[in-house]
């Protein structure tokens, strides 16, 4: 009992760090042309708890002037500017100063008067880029695929849900079918929300997503005690049902980021593809590691329940944290 209490205590302490890591969203620089030489600029920086990364817009070819006071929104702080660029910004360098000192990526979304849109991704190793003379499909594909991969790999609640499914199912062929059901469900919800057909408030959805992980942690413990569970009998049904809910979480992140004007289906499709690539990589590695551990050996038997308690403890912490955040 003492060892179990110690493990749970450590996990509770670390969960505050992991909870913040789940909030690691990209910064967003939106530039919209208003006439031949003027642009409105909105710079959204993600807040990491109470902290805001020291990153700044850098557009050497124009004059940037603040057009209002910074305004906080859910998870972000937003700065508004007016950009004057007599020579335009096509073919010119644009960047984010200080990005190399953070773990934050920055999505640059540019919309011109003729309706043409350009998307760029800036990262710690590429803090500046040249604005293309013309929009290309490849820029949208690359940018939104990377965003999808990053979102799933930094979305620890989604990963814990998938990890719990891996622990419950075990058999790889059955696991593939289950993950496919989860994929179909969250892809459906993601598309419906982004295209404006359905909507749910974000905070309650996030709380229930965490609660779905608690449910799977309990299912793991029931299995270890030899009790039948619905997840073991019909894993695809559980994965599909909760996948619909997790899709709302993916949609919330994509709504924060935004989709390029005129390229919504393309960006949505490749964001979803990125999510799936990240998910497949995680499931493959997790399954191989679990199969590699010789659970029957005496040294590993006491550790068999640790994953269920670890997953359940973190998920319960997130559930309570998100419920309290709504009060």
Which own/partner contact pairs does 16-19 have at CB distance under 8 Å and 24+ positions apart? 18/156, 18/314, 19/317, 19/318, 19/321
- The SS3 call for residue 95 is strand
Percent of the chain topping pLDDT 70: 90
Spell out the domain ranges in the chain. Answer: 27-135, 152-326
Whether residue 169 is predicted with pLDDT greater than 70 in this model: the reply is yes
Beta strands 71-73; 27-33: pairing state: unpaired
> What pLDDT, on a 0 to 100 scale, did the predictor assign at position 173?
84
Residues 276-282 have a mean pLDDT of 90
Which own/partner contact pairs does 8-15 have at CB distance under 8 Å and 24+ positions apart? 8/309, 8/313, 11/309, 11/310, 11/313, 11/314, 12/313, 12/317, 15/313, 15/314, 15/317, 15/318
Whether residue 22 is predicted with pLDDT greater than 70 in this model: the reply is no
Using CA atoms, how far residue 136 sits from 130, 174, 256, in Å, is 13, 40, 23
Query: Can you tell me the distance from the alpha carbon of 149 to that of 154, in angstroms, rounded to the nearest whole number?
Result: 9
Q: Which residue has the tokens 């990209």?
A: 26
Convert the pLDDT of each residue in 196-253 to its tens digit: 888 888 889 999 999 999 999 999 999 888 888 888 889 999 999 999 999 998 888 7
Convert the pLDDT of each residue in 39-70 to its tens digit: 999 999 988 767 788 899 999 888 999 887 88
Any bridge partners for residue 234, and if so which? none
Range name among 108-117, 187-196, 250-259, 295-304 with the lowest pLDDT average? 295-304
The H or E element containing residue 5 is helix 2-22
> What pLDDT, on a 0 to 100 scale, did the predictor assign at position 13?
42
Return the closest-CA partner of residue 134 out of 163, 154, 114: 114
Range name among 131-140, 212-221, 269-278, 305-314 with the lowest pLDDT average? 131-140
Instruction: Band the pLDDT of 172: cuts 50, 70, 90.
Output: confident
- The SS3 call for residue 181 is helix
> What pLDDT, on a 0 to 100 scale, did the predictor assign at position 296?
63
> What pLDDT, on a 0 to 100 scale, did the predictor assign at position 282?
92
Any bridge partners for residue 84, and if so which? 38, 63
Whether residue 10 is predicted with pLDDT greater than 60 in this model: the reply is no
DSSP single-letter state for residue 123? B
**Cα angle vertex 234, ends 233, 235, to 5°?**
110
> What pLDDT, on a 0 to 100 scale, did the predictor assign at position 315?
93
The H or E element containing residue 96 is strand 93-97
Compute the mean pLDDT over every residue in the chain, rounded to the nearest whole number: 84
Instruction: Band the pLDDT of 31: cuts 50, 70, 90.
Output: very high
Return the closest-CA partner of residue 188 out of 239, 113, 118: 239
For the chain, helix, strand, coil in percent to 5 are 55, 20, 25
> What pLDDT, on a 0 to 100 scale, did the predictor assign at position 295?
63
Q: Select the highest-mean-pLDDT range: 22-36, 87-101, 104-118, 287-301.
A: 87-101
Of the chain, the end-to-end C-alpha distance in Å amounts to 34
> What pLDDT, on a 0 to 100 scale, did the predictor assign at position 127?
93
Whether residue 161 is predicted with pLDDT greater than 80 in this model: the reply is yes
Cβ-contact 200, 250 below 8 angstroms: no
């Amino acid at each position: 009992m003492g060892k179990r209490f110690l493990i749970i205590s450590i996990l509770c302490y670390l969960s505050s760090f992991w909870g913040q890591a789940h909030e690691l969203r990209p910064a967003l620089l939106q530039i919209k042309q208003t006439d031949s030489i003027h642009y409105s600029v909105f710079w959204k920086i993600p807040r990491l708890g109470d902290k805001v990364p020291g990153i700044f817009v850098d557009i050497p070819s124009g004059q940037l002037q603040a057009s209002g006071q910074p305004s906080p929104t859910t998870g972000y702080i937003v700065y508004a500017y007016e950009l004057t660029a007599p020579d335009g910004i096509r073919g010119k360098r644009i960047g984010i100063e200080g990005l190399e000192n953070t773990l934050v990526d920055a999505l640059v979304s540019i919309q011109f008067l003729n309706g043409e849109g350009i998307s760029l991704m800036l990262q710690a190793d590429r803090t500046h880029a040249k604005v293309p003379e013309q929009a290309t499909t490849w820029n949208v594909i690359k940018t939104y695929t990377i965003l999808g991969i990053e979102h799933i790999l930094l979305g620890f609640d989604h990963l814990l849900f998938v990890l719990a499914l891996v622990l419950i199912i075990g058999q790889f062929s059955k696991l593939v079918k289950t993950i496919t059901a989860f994929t179909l469900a969250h892809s459906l919800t993601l598309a419906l929300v982004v295209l404006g057909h359905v909507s749910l408030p974000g905070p309650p959805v996030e709380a229930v997503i965490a609660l779905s992980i608690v449910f799977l942690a309990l299912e793991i413990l029931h299995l270890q005690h030899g009790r039948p569970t619905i997840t073991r009998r019909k894993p695809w049904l559980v994965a599909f049902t909760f996948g619909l809910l997790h899709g709302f979480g993916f949609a919330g992140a994509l709504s924060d980021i935004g989709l390029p004007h005129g390229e919504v289906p393309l960006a949505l499709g490749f964001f979803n593809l990125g999510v799936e690539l990240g998910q497949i990589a995680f499931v493959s590695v997790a399954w191989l590691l679990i199969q590699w551990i010789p659970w029957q050996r005496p040294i590993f038997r006491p550790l068999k329940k640790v994953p269920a308690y670890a997953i359940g403890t973190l998920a319960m912490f997130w559930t309570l944290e998100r419920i309290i955040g709504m009060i």
